[in-house]
Structure 1
Amino acid sequence: MKEKGLLIVLSGPSGVGKGTVRKALFEQENTQFEYSISITTRPPREGEVDGVDYFFKTREEFERLIKEGKLLEYAEYVGNYYGTPVDYVKETMDAGKDVVLEIEVQGAKQVREKFPDGLFIFLAPPSLEELKNRIVSRGTETEELIINRLEEAKKEIEMMDLYDYVVVNDQVELACERIKAIVKAEHCRRERVAKMYKKMLEGEK
């Protein structure tokens, strides 16, 4: 019997390096995850590609998707919308593949309500000082926006209890290895394996 894929939610405060860790994870040869590309209304950063890093939409297009119920979750963060297309996620999991969502903390809370069986991993900074350094080093934020992001990050760190695991992003490669170890362990969790065998046994009756 084919095991259903896991929904892996990778989340954490702005500036913690979610995108960097996710890219490094998918660049590894033995990675077998599928990445669910998020939709956003924020403008692309330098080097970002539409349909690879995000699907970039206008505010009007995004709000139409909300009305049509086409989003698994969405949130407005620092003036821009972010969301996850629902159909892709369900189809990929049903095919037995693990799906990775790299999303904001607000969005993760919505997914937890709809997919309580998901695997929720909080990517944390080594310290608040290091988080500030990472946001400043982007060179894309104004002083006011940096302050706003740091205040928001403090609130998001306080929401850590919503998650199953916390991975400290001190070094990208180490963070990737920790995430892969967590996923491997989750596939062996008794509750998940027992469900599969229960269906198998019921089919023999």
Structure 2
Amino acid sequence: MALTTPKQPRTVVISGPSGSGKSTLVSKLLGEYPSTFVFTISHTTRRPRSDERNGREYHFIQRSKMEAMIANEEFVEWSEFASNLYGTSKATFKNVATSGCIWLRIVDKIAVKNIRETDHNALFICINPPSYEVLSQRLRDRNTDTETARENRLQEARESMQFSKKPGIYDYIIENDQLDVAYEKLKEILRPEIEAVLHQQKTNDDTK
């Protein structure tokens, strides 16, 4: 399946361990450029946290239903992390492909590898914490997981940080020590993509 066309803006794939600040950075991008990016919601079988709502952070569904969707080949990509399934549906991709906006995605390392193996014209960016110790403290301060879940996330974080060092996986790696500094780095990386979309939108408006 071809996942892009020449006229479609380049997809931006952002990954990194839990607690790295990637969701906060994405929220800042969406706030500053609301008509430039489209942020899509993935499906997941994990239980929502107390501050999460179905259809906002994720499409929360039962595992049996998601497994049936996978068997029916309804996902562009999917992966399993901490005994939970995550995936991007083909219906979601179809909607984004006609939007004329940059598709902004947050995925785990397995999804990064899966997307790399497709013909998807994506830009891969990793958001890393300054150190494993800082990340560990961030997750403890967040206090949204059980101790077992937190240890699972810390183990995944170790693996994600090691994964980011592999050549040919990410186009850019941003160390998020200070949020504002990391955000400026992210914007600078994305500036050519943002300007291209804004130019196309202006051209479309001028021809109406």
Alignment size in residue pairs: 188
The alpha carbon displacement at 1:172 in A equals 2.8
Separation in 2 of the partners of 1:173 and 1:4?
Answer: 29
Task: Judge which range, 15-24 or 70-79, deviates more.
Answer: 15-24
RMSD: 2.2
Match of 1:17 among 16, 21, 31: 21
Matched, 1:72 2:76: yes
Name the CA shift for 1:41/1:58 in 2 (closer, same or farther; >3 Å): same
Separation in 1 of the partners of 2:96 and 2:62?
Answer: 26
1:146-157 equivalences under 5 Å are: 146-157=150-161
Whether contact under 8 Å (2:9, 2:193) holds in the other structure is: no
Whether contact under 8 Å (2:13, 2:124) holds in the other structure is: yes
Tell me what 1:113 maps to: 117
Tell me what 1:174 maps to: 181
Instruction: Specify the SS of the correspondent of 1:42.
Output: coil
User: Structure 2 regions of 5+ residues with no counterpart?
Assistant: 1-5, 197-208
Separation in 2 of the partners of 1:49 and 1:171?
Answer: 29
Scaled by the length of structure 1, the TM-score of the pair is 0.82
Q: Among the aligned pairs, what percent are the same residue?
A: 35
The alpha carbon displacement at 1:59 in A equals 0.4
- In structure 1, give the amino acid aligned to 2:116: R
Separation in 1 of the partners of 2:126 and 2:33?
Answer: 24
Task: Judge which range, 60-69 or 17-26, deviates more.
Answer: 17-26
Residues 39-73 of structure 1: CA distance to partner in whole angstroms, max 9, x if unpaired? Answer: 11111112212112111111011112111211121
The alpha carbon displacement at 1:14 in A equals 2.1
Name the CA shift for 1:115/1:46 in 2 (closer, same or farther; >3 Å): farther
Tell me what 2:67 maps to: 63
- In structure 2, give the amino acid aligned to 1:13: P
Residues 94-134 of structure 1: CA distance to partner in whole angstroms, max 9, x if unpaired? Answer: 44321011111111111111145210000110111110011
The alpha carbon displacement at 1:9 in A equals 0.5
Scaled by the length of structure 2, the TM-score of the pair is 0.81
The alpha carbon displacement at 1:90 in A equals 4.3
1:35-50 equivalences under 5 Å are: 35-50=39-54
- Over 3 Å off, 4+ runs: 185-189
Instruction: Specify the SS of the correspondent of 1:13.
Output: coil
Tell me what 1:198 maps to: none
Whether contact under 8 Å (1:24, 1:172) holds in the other structure is: no
